[in-house]
Amino acid sequence: MPGPGSDHLNGLDPRAPLVLDTRELGRRPGSQRQVSLTVPAPADLGIEVLSVPEGAPVELDLRLEAVMEGVLITGSAAATLEGECVRCLEPIRDEFEVRFQELFVYDDIRDSAEAEEDDEVSMLEDDLVDLEPLLRDAVVLALPFQPLCQDDCPGLCSECGVRLLEQPDHVHEEAIDPRWKALTTLTDEAQHDPTD
């Protein structure tokens, strides 16, 4: 239960799993702190075809370092990805690790109006850091746009939909009738783009 006076609507929730309190670090440039924690994955961590299931553990290893302007966070996140091969639709399950680094600027050094215009700048809010956008960006950037079960996945048979990795030698008895084959070739040539 949030206590009286808690004001989570207008700021970061210090109890949220991906919100980090940097107060212990202090503001003396050069001071450092190592933080290791496991957090539940937020929803939609990844891309449509490959993502970390919501609630699955994400292991974070972070180094917090006080610098003149704010807190520099360097770290890595490790988790399990689930998705499917875009060619053969086979489920994919893969361990992955991403590294990231971000400077969070003290909100009392940079005024927030200025910062709002520049969304490249990450800000601390009352010494709290929201790691979620950082984690999200790092994960999405690290993922392949077209996940494959293996690099040379041959996909599915265009005639019957069987997964060709499982039946690499599979052929169809009903090969195209040679008479039709001649016609197919003609059609292919006719459809060839003349500007190509």
Residues that bind Zn ion (CB under 5 A): 85, 87-88, 90, 149, 153, 157, 159-160, 162
DSSP label of 9: G
Least distance between Zn ion and beta carbon 182 (Å)? 23
Do the strands 50-52 and 70-84 form a parallel or antiparallel pair, or are they unpaired? Answer: antiparallel
Q: Is residue 77 within 8 Å of residue 36, measured between CB atoms?
A: no
- In the bound state with Zn ion, the residue whose beta carbon lies nearer, of 84 and 132, is 84
Q: How far apart are CA 112 and CA 115, in angstroms?
A: 5
Least distance between Zn ion and beta carbon 49 (Å)? 12
- In the bound state with Zn ion, the residue whose beta carbon lies nearer, of 119 and 152, is 152
Q: Is residue 36 within 8 Å of residue 78, measured between CB atoms?
A: no
Least distance between Zn ion and beta carbon 171 (Å)? 8
Q: Is residue 65 within 8 Å of residue 80, measured between CB atoms?
A: no
The tokens describing 146, both together, are 């077209």
Least distance between Zn ion and beta carbon 167 (Å)? 8
- In the bound state with Zn ion, the residue whose beta carbon lies nearer, of 1 and 160, is 160
